[in-house]
Amino acid sequence: MNRITLRTPAKINPVLELLGKRPDGFHELALVFQAVSLFDELTLEKIPQGVLFSVSRSPEPLAEDDSNLVVKAARLFLHGVLKGQGGVKITLAKDIPLAAGLGGGSSDAAAALKGMDLLFETKLSEQRLMEMAGQLGSDVPFFLKGGTALGTGRGEKIESWKPAPTLDLILVKPVEGLSTAGVYRSGKAAFTSGDKARAFQNILAKGDIQEITASLYNGLEPASFFLMPRLREIKDKILGAGALGALVSGSGPTVFGLVESDRQGEMISRVFSSNEYRVVKTQTNPQGIEVVR
């Protein structure tokens, strides 16, 4: 095999709880990851040596140097697994908004790891891939699993759950960005016990949309509202337009809404028709990274 293309999904967090500050400076978390049907696409090709990375499309300017998480993932695999023998050219076609609380960069990094494992037929164990993913970022391990899962620790310890029922969603991202580090440092996040995240497994299994909606929770949402007040306005607009529920995803600034149908999602999207927003109608996705060719 000399070339492979993978499709890698975005995520939302229907529940995100902060349990406390860890000695290493990170926060102890209990959060629910849910993959959604909004994708980036990575094509990997063997080359003699090194890492070549380029972006064929992106909704916003994206670094193509060593600061990009895809390049970091490729170099980690190249040096840690291939011991510098061989190289890879990676082309990214990006549709997931950047710095949006949707995990796009983490998803791409996970796809780079999985793609290189397949491309070079190294047949690494799931545990080895997960360990490498955890070195790249707290969200990266989830994308090797996909679907629906509980994350604990920094978010890197993943427990896969039975896939959530198919839920229609609308994602609304303002053009402005929001710093994840700034959200955590704001002092406005709420701390809880982790029980909400763990209870969400049974709530999803019952499939009652009203109960699912009532159980949405994000301890980072007050901090996101504090730093970017218009996010509260976006959430209120989504709910006022008829969504069943709405929540900031991760550290923001994307706000997702649960809607009754794709048609309702289309109606709500018209409320955000200006170029001040990126609006996506989508659904929950039961899978993770997919090989497309």
Question: Catalytic: which of 11, 94, 196, 235?
Answer: 11
Residues 68 and 113 in one domain: yes
* pLDDT given at position 47: 96
Q: Which residue has the higher pLDDT, 242 or 275?
A: 242
Domain that holds residue 86: 3-160
- Is residue 139 domain-shared with residue 220, that is, in the same domain? no
Q: Are residues 186 and 82 located together in one domain of the fold?
A: no
Of the three residues 137, 160, 183, the one that is the final residue of a domain is 160
> Are residue 7 and residue 141 in the same domain, yes or no?
yes
Q: What is the pLDDT of residue 129?
A: 98
Average model confidence (pLDDT) for the chain? Answer: 95
Average pLDDT over residues 257-267: 92
| Residue where one domain finishes, among candidates 135, 160, 185 | 160
Mean pLDDT of 160-170: 96
Residue 258 predicted with pLDDT over 90: yes
Separation CA 153–CA 19 (nearest Å): 10
Confidence (pLDDT) at 99: 87
Same domain, 270 and 175: yes
Same domain? For 10 and 155 the reply is: yes
* Residues 80-89, mean pLDDT to the nearest whole number: 93
> Cα separation of 99 and 62, whole Å?
11
292 within some domain: no
74 pLDDT tier (thresholds 50, 70, 90):
very high
Overall domain count for the chain: 2
Residue 179 inside a domain? The answer is yes
Residues 8 and 117 in one domain: yes
Q: How many CB atoms lie within 10 A of CB 292?
A: 12
15 and 141 within one domain: yes
pLDDT at 214 over 90: yes
Q: Does residue 64 belong to any structural domain of this protein?
A: yes
Residue 291 within a domain? no
Per-residue pLDDT reduced to its tens digit, 111-154:
999 999 999 999 999 999 999 999 999 999 999 999 999 999 99
Q: Which CATH number fits the domain that encloses residue 267? A: 3.30.70.890
Phi, psi for residue 23 in degrees, rounded to 5: -60, -25
Is residue 262 domain-shared with residue 142, that is, in the same domain? Answer: no
Residue 72 lies in a domain: yes
Residues 172 and 278 in one domain: yes
**Which domain-ending residue is among 133, 160, 187?**
160
Please say whether the beta carbons of 195 and 226 come within 8 A.
no
**Can you tell me the distance from the alpha carbon of 183 to that of 258, in angstroms, rounded to the nearest whole number?**
24
Per residue in 25-67, pLDDT tens? 889 999 999 999 999 999 999 999 999 999 999 888 788 888 9
**Rounded Cα distance, 273 and 88, in Å:** 40
Give catalytic status of residue 139 as yes or no: yes
Residue 46 sits in a domain whose CATH number is 3.30.230.10
Which two structure tokens, joined as six digits, stand for 72?
Answer: 């970091």
**Residue 244 clears pLDDT 90, i.e. is over it:** yes
pLDDT of residue 59: 83
pLDDT score recorded for residue 65: 83
Judge residue 49's burial from the number of C-beta atoms within 10 Å of its C-beta, 0-12 exposed, 13-18 middle, 19 or more buried.
exposed
Together in a domain, 154 and 172: no
| Of 241, 279, 247, residue with least CA distance to 59 | 279
Residue 64 pLDDT: 80
- Give the lowest-confidence range in 70-74, 81-85, 109-113, 243-247: 81-85
Q: Is 198 found in the same domain as 116?
A: no
Question: Is the pLDDT assigned to residue 171 strictly greater than 90?
Answer: yes
Residue 77 lies in a domain: yes
Q: What is the pTM (predicted TM-score) of this model?
A: 0.95
- Name the catalytic one among 94, 139, 168, 196: 139
Q: 288 lies in a domain? A: no
Report pLDDT for 60: 81
Q: Is 94 a catalytic residue?
A: no
Percentage with pLDDT > 90 across the chain: 87
What tokens appear for 234 in the block?
């976006």
Tell me if 26 is assigned to some domain: yes
